[in-house]
Amino acid sequence: MKTICLALVCALALAGAGAPRAAAADKTPGPLAVAADAVVVRPLCLASTIVGSALFVVALPVAAASKSVKPTADALVAKPAAATFKRPLGDLDAMAE
């Protein structure tokens, strides 16, 4: 039984060794990435946009007093909204920027 498990692990390791190079050459997202983006990531980004908007309204007097309204709005509202509505479906790398 140990021999079979060891052979299976070695075969999977060899099969997976070429996967990162193949994935790096192809920039189109796979169906799993698109599905995960549509079902999990986009709703979380939308919730982040809503919560960030509420926090921005609360922080607005302090931001106005310190003359940092634009950076505050960018961090709390614009970036989450761009991650929700502007990036292509399945492009999870665009959120890191």
Express each pLDDT in 84-95 by its tens digit: 999 999 888 887
Residues 21-45: what's their mean pLDDT? 82
Does residue 14 have a pLDDT over 60? no
Express each pLDDT in 37-85 by its tens digit: 999 999 999 999 999 999 999 999 999 999 999 999 999 999 999 999 9
Q: Which residue has the tokens 């990435």?
A: 33
pLDDT score, position 83? 93
Rounded Cα–Cα distance for residues 15 and 7 (Å): 12
